[in-house]
Amino acid sequence: MKEDGGSAFPWFAENWNEDSNGHPGMTMRDHFAGQALAGLASYYARNNNWEGLARAVYDIADVMLEEREK
């Protein structure tokens, strides 16, 4: 499994007065992929290449996580 960068937007019960478990939020990898998706969707949509789009955004997210660790 690839490194996911940890939680991007966690929240915890003591901050939200919800159940005591809190929620880890989405991973940084998913957040980075979503940001890349916004910019690349129209390019891949021209050819209905959704699988290519999905691969591309996670490839970008993985590179962003690698750079983040430097």
Give the model's pLDDT for residue 57: 92
Residues 6+ apart with CB under 8 A from 45: 53
How many Å apart are CA 60 and CA 32, to the nearest integer?
8
**Residue 54's pLDDT is what?**
92
Query: What was the pLDDT predicted at 60?
Result: 92
Q: Residue 41: what pLDDT?
A: 86
Evaluate if pTM is beyond 0.75: no
CB 20 within 8 A of CB 49: no
Q: What is the pLDDT of residue 26?
A: 81
- Give the residue ranges of DSSP H helices in the chain: 13-16, 28-45, 50-69
1-58, pLDDT tens digit by residue? 567 877 777 666 555 555 545 666 788 888 888 888 888 888 888 889 999 999 999 9
Task: Identify the sign of the CA torsion 58, 33, 15, 19.
Answer: negative
